[in-house]
Amino acid sequence: MSFVECRALTRTYQRGDNAITPLSELDLDIEQGTFLALMGPSGSGKTTLLNLLAGIDRPTSGELLIDGEDVTTLSRGALARWRSTVVGYIFQLYHLVPVLTAYENIELPLLLHDISRAERHRRTALTLELVGLADRHDHYPRQLSGGQEQRVAIARALVTDPALILADEPTGDLDAEAANGIMTLLSDLHRDLGKTLIMVTHDPNTAKFADLTLHLEKGRLVQPAAVGHDTAGEGEA
């Protein structure tokens, strides 16, 4: 059994009299520990798929199993609890709370968990260290660069120790140097922590950091292109 299993996964929206189907009859298996990049033109269904995997949206039809859990059958409350423990989401525009420090932004997801204050502090401090921002813990978002804000967002996604990390255009708002730093960080975290990482990107240079790149077009997978970021130095065919 794969870590992620999609079977005939479809999402249709009603827009006036028109039915819009950004994702259609998608079959996809993702093994645990994979770093997958999803590419495709605007409207191809990339973010729709990411939101279904995150439990932010629900499919119109089809099956979606993550680590053996059929998330399409969960109630709203059960889905929220599942999402808070299994999924970490990295947004393109960071979505940090401006009145909270870097430390407080990272700690925020832990407030939903039944853990002690000391344990929250331990996890938050450790995650700050992981993303190289221990010395910026008391800075507010306005006092950080774009790359540093994204590192805070990455730390916030990691702090609950989720099995699945989802990233929607994580470098889309950054210059080339900051983007390379973020992707190096994500690649290192994927390698060191063994997380399953699924990233939407339009940038081929960003996709090169992934183990595998798949292309979506009009809601369907097209001929996949494997793009290796092989730590052993052997590219994928």
Q: Is residue 231 part of a domain?
A: no
What's the pLDDT at 1? Answer: 81
* Mean pLDDT within 87-105: 94
Q: Is residue 237 part of a domain?
A: no
The percentage of residues in the chain with a pLDDT greater than 90, rounded to a whole number, is 80
Distance CA 101, CA 111 (A): 15
**What CATH code is carried by the domain that includes residue 93?**
3.40.50.300
What's the pLDDT at 231? Answer: 39
What's the pLDDT at 223? Answer: 61
Q: Is residue 172 part of a domain?
A: yes
Lowest mean per-residue pLDDT among 51-55, 96-100, 232-236: 232-236
Average pLDDT of the chain to the nearest whole number: 90
Among the listed residues 148, 184, 144, 154, the one whose alpha carbon sits nearest the alpha carbon of residue 90? 154
C-alpha pair distances (Å), 16 with each of 24, 58, 219: 20, 20, 20
CB 8 within 8 A of CB 66: no
Domain span at residue 106 reads 4-221
Question: Under the phi-then-psi rule, with left for phi > 0, alpha for psi from -120 to 50, and beta for the rest, what region is 32?
Answer: beta
Q: Is residue 234 part of a domain?
A: no
pLDDT at 139 over 70: yes
What's the pLDDT at 93? Answer: 87
pLDDT at 235 over 50: no
When divided into structural domains, the chain yields a total of 1
Q: Is residue 145 part of a domain?
A: yes
What's the pLDDT at 173? Answer: 86
pLDDT at 142 over 50: yes
Distance CA 108, CA 170 (A): 20
